[in-house]
Amino acid sequence: MKYLYFIFLVLLVSILFIFVNLNPEHASIDLLFTDISGISIGFIIVYAIFIGALISLILQLPILLRSNKKKKNSQSDEDTKS
């Protein structure tokens, strides 16, 4: 089981590497106040996926932490009843 995460990580990195190499065309990104040019389309998509996953994790942290706290409280209540 401990090697499953390592295999998944190696597979994910290799897929992202292949994806970046298959999209070498350069593009220009026009943000609100800046213009970024010279970045390949593959990197733009990989960065967008990574930033989306990071934002999703940050927004779900309060829910994840709250559910763990409720589980600990219910377990401590069951321990005191026994």
Q: What are the tens digits of pLDDT across the range 25-75?
A: 888 888 888 898 888 888 888 888 889 999 999 999 888 888 766 666 666
Q: Is the pLDDT of residue 19 over 60?
A: yes
Residue at 81 is within a domain: no
Whole domain around residue 63: which residue ranges? 2-68
Whether the model clears a pTM of 0.85, i.e. scores above it, the answer is: no
Residue at 43 is within a domain: yes
Exposure class string for 24-38: b at 16+ Cβ within 10 A, else e: eeeeeeeeeeeeeee
Residue at 82 is within a domain: no
For the chain, what is the domain count? 1
Residue at 7 is within a domain: yes
Cβ-proximal residues to 19 (8 Å cutoff; 6+ apart), any chain:
42, 45, 46
